[in-house]
Structure 1
């Protein structure tokens, strides 16, 4: 309790150190369980600064936490947890083309306020009703509509942060602190290595996104997207927002099986949908009585009724290859359809077969869409060879497959099995130019595979960046870069 007692002088009573509270915060949406030493509800950035100073001086880990919806243990720590959802959850500013928010605001709450102004922030993960903007930045979250609009990193324009030593920092394209100057000096001699060393796919949250930092120009704020709180703690963020499109429509297409469905993804993409999602029968058939069938959800959006023409042309292109299960062009019908798709993760996490349940490790791979059918066939073959039940769905327009085998983590043999499968699947994905982490983050589960993904030169840069921002490895240690 010494850490909690010390922190009481910093956080003005907003500290939890009792065993029940620490147990509550020992879990997230993953299968990991790590009990923190204390939990702080910071009321402002000054409390964050003081907590970081204490962490740095005492060499105690410190980790930011939002709603705890991370799937791979990103926000779990045996040190100090900073929960931003209670106090630092406000919208600071809404303008015509951007919003400034604190990290603890829930995405759905922000969506509601933006909608009043006919605006939206496109990244919309399945956990939008619960997840926070801080968590979305930490993981570079995406969601259903990232195909048409981009990922969280694409909308991040500026951040205020607190560094490991408790010093405040700031970063945007036009204005950044001295530490960002040092970041530029580390990365600029390695631009060619960075450019050639990253996967050529539309979404990626593996490692640090140095390619986004050194893209068209130096964009230092983007180093915090997908960083999982290992470089600094974001206390406010400025994000670009868009006008809600005037016209939207969608269709749900039914296919005989999964391979038939994903084989048609490149054809559907020719008509420029803003969303293209897949639900396999392993998710749809909750009673497990059906062993065939697959759905594609396709949405079109724009500023004119020409989107209806695109939908019609898409449907004609696929005539004879699938059936039209649903069509919608009014908002409520589309909300209902997307609610069913977004509910897939909740349904999956509740699924059990005896002592086995869906386990994440290979659940977030991305390949180019034209390679998706081969990648899916490889996954199915791996499951058949190992006699495994599984679930499968995903953002197939981006080539992003979410799949989980059903395993018993109480069995050492099955733990070894998922690790062997990961080695095989990740190797295939990497050789195809894809990524092992599309949007869920690396967390505790995939940190050991990051060097396999990038090789020693890029991961050497990751280590250099980590040491620049967090020389004592107190900021969410064990994520992104192995503890040294």
Structure 2
């Protein structure tokens, strides 16, 4: 090993002289500021921005970074919440890589996409062939294929189809040595330094620790926290370690996806629950009926939009084809929900279903657009607990946030036990940061006690990297480090993400507060408008303007 992995530069990293490469490189203040934020809570000024046009150019950048010990931060649209898309090194924007190739192979039910292809574009092309990729993150119009693979993304339909992991057949990537590598499900990888180091140094230790790994990994329906050692033990495929690694083991350049025929029929039901206590009773029963999605909106959000359902809204969606018994499943869902509901609304076609779901789709834009002195913060925003512990988790969040005097909005994927919590602290209070930090620590403790994971589908980023020791224990975290060292021996790939670095704290370098990094001109307001409008499809270089 040439240097300790995860050596993170200070935020004041000297601006490097970028190498010549096929693409765009910028070190001016406006370009750096345009990439200083993503979704989530962080603002970190990068040292430079590189937008490679080709995979060969990306490889040149990686080799340069290895020689110079310069951290690289792979990035797609920047819509990730956990802070894995910002950092003090060189941002590597993958949204133009190789011209964003997209090929649909209907006869094989496969798609190939470049890392910068959006899910919306992939879905539209697949739909022309009567196919689709089942996982559907709410950010589909701007979420990139590379970002979805990097976080093991999921979305509302994950209750039936799971996260993207089982739908990825292969990934192409650049390792921390600058080697091109393809990892394909069920096929041995070709020999290269990263694979050789893994086989020699990491694999024997992982196999020896199998019992510990399986005992320590959360028993939840979804998990995007840590490296997926449990999935690797089950499959033996290095591909499973790369999925969800957030660009810390390699920079994904292309993905081969499995597709399935699109359903032709839809139905759904929305229930206004009488009380929260009904949730752990009805969700397991509804799962037996085979829903495609099972979503929950807590009363906290409903009050913001003028509704008073004290138990929250539960939304159930069914999909199928001609001959499938959607009416029977809808009837069974109605039977389960009626004793616990103040009102039921049903839909038996796609258009009516979209109307039922409109309030769910409005959550994030409504919260992001608030300008009442309270700022929506994605801090404890992705925990996943066993489905039977949903009520206990919501109760704990309400108690902890209430005790610290911070409003919390709860919504998300009830069928998976994966709920998103947005905090709304009053930034006029001098101790808002102390309150938010305490809530983060206490809710994390509650998640651990309930057998959950801090991330169901968004990844750890910088925000949750410090929680891994408490979740997995020191032995498993040491195994994570072995995996990291095998693929990124110099520690240039997204340091501080997944595995924390010495001296870095999760609540420094925020985008709000008096100590937020200064940005030139009106860049702070431009970035705020992207947040308000969910405009993550905007080109950051266009936002920065010309040199």
Which of 366, 369, 380 is the aligned partner of 1:350? Answer: 369
- Tell me: CA distance 1:295–1:4, structure 2 relative to 1, closer, same or farther (3 Å): same
Partner residue of 1:156?
168
State the distance in 2 between where 1:293 and 1:154 align.
Answer: 34
CA distance in 2, matches of 1:362, 1:320: 32
Match of 2:539 in 1: none
Q: 1:193 aligns with which of 185, 200, 212?
A: 212
SS of equivalent to 2:271: strand
Q: Distance in 1 between matches of 2:345 and 2:27?
A: 51
Pick one of 224, 234, 237 that aligns with 2:242.
Answer: 224
Deviation at 1:352, TM superposition (A): 4.5
For 1:207, which of 217, 226, 239 is the aligned residue? Answer: 226
SS at 1:174 equivalent: coil
Would you say 1:76 and 2:90 are equivalent positions? no
CA drift of 1:289 comes to: 7.3
Structure 1 unmatched ranges of 5 or more = none
Q: Does 1:320 align with 2:330?
A: no
CA deviation map 1:186-243 (0-9, x unaligned)? 422222222222111110011111111111x312111111111001001111121111
Separation (CA, whole Å) in 1 of partners of 2:365 and 2:188 = 41
Moved over 4 A (4+): 1-5, 287-291, 408-412
Matched residue SS, 1:305: coil
Deviation at 1:315, TM superposition (A): 0.3
Matches within 5 A, 1:403-422: 403-408=421-426, 413-422=431-440
2: CA distance, partners of 1:458 / 1:316: 45
Q: Which residue of 1 aligns with 2:256?
A: 238
Seen in structure 2, the aligned counterparts of structure 1 residues 409 and 444 have a Cα distance that, compared at 3 Å, is: farther
**8 Å CA contact 2:273, 2:311 repeated in 1:** yes
8 A contact 2:76–2:94 mirrored in 1: yes
Q: Secondary structure at the match of 2:494?
A: coil
Counterparts of 1:109-128 in structure 2, within 5 Å, are 109-128=121-140
* Distance of aligned partners of 1:398 and 1:359 in 2 relative to their CA distance in 1, 3 Å threshold: same
Aligned residues: 480
Matches within 5 A, 1:326-345: 326-345=345-364
Retained in 2: the 8 A contact 1:352–1:358? Answer: no
- Among candidates 166, 174, 180, match of residue 195 of structure 2: 180
1:64 corresponding residue in structure 2 = 74
Q: Is the 8 A contact 1:358 1:390 kept in 2?
A: no
Deviation at 1:185, TM superposition (A): 3.7
State how far apart, in whole Å, the 1-side matches of 2:355 and 2:260 are: 23
1:473–1:483 CA contact under 8 A, matched in 2: no
Give, in angstroms, the shift of residue 414 of structure 1. 2.6
Q: Following TM superposition, by how much is the alpha carbon of 1:293 offset from its aligned partner in structure 2, in angstroms?
A: 5.0
Q: Deviations over 1:364-397 (max 9, x none)?
A: 1111111211221222222232232111101000
Deviation at 1:482, TM superposition (A): 2.1
1:472 and 2:482 are equivalent in the alignment: no
Alignment partners' CA distance in 1, 2:393 and 2:245? 27
User: Pick from 90, 101, 120: which aligns with 2:113?
Assistant: 101
Is it true that 1:55 corresponds to 2:65 in the alignment?
A: yes
2:143 is matched with 131
Which of 406, 410, 433 aligns to 2:451? It is 433
Q: Shift in Å at residue 324 of structure 1?
A: 4.5
SS at match of 1:390: strand
Q: What is the CA-CA distance between 1:353 and the residue it aligns to?
A: 3.9
CA distance in 2 between counterparts of 1:328 and 1:471 reads 54
The structure-2 alpha-carbon separation of the partners of 1:138 and 1:15, relative to structure 1 and needing over 3 Å to count, comes to same
Q: Would the aligned equivalents of 2:71 and 2:90 in 1 still touch at CA under 8 Å?
A: yes
State the alpha-carbon separation in 1 of the partners of residues 89 and 429 from structure 2.
Answer: 29
C-alpha distance in structure 1 between counterparts of 2:369 and 2:195, whole Å: 43
* Alignment check: 8 A CA contact 2:41 2:379 kept: no
Q: 2:481 aligns with which of 463, 468, 476?
A: 463
Q: Is the 8 A contact 1:4 1:15 kept in 2?
A: no
Aligned partner of 1:166 in structure 2 is: 178
* SS of corresponding position for 2:339: coil
1:85 is aligned to 2:72: no
The residue aligned with 1:445 is: 463
Cα separation, 1, equivalents of 2:469 and 2:426: 27
Does 2:318 correspond to 1:300?
Answer: yes
- Contact kept, 8 Å, 1:123 with 1:150, in 2: the verdict is yes
2:401/2:407 contact within 8 Å kept = yes
Higher relative contact order, structure no. (Cα contacts within 8 Å, ≥ 6 residues apart): 2
Question: With structure 1 as the length reference, what TM-score do the two structures score?
Answer: 0.93
Structure 1: distance between partners of 2:474 and 2:138: 34
| Cα distance per residue 1:311-367 (max 9 Å; x no partner) | 10120222232145432222233334445423322222223442x322222221111
Contact 2:263/2:319 (8 A) holds in 1: yes
The Cα of 1:280 is off from its aligned counterpart by 2.0
Contact 1:251 1:324 in 2 (8 A): no
Q: Secondary structure at the match of 2:249?
A: coil
Query: Which moved further from structure 2: 341-350 or 157-166?
Result: 341-350
Deviations 1:61-113 (A, max 9, x none): 11111001011211102222121213442214534322111110011111111
Name the Cα RMSD after superposition. Answer: 2.2
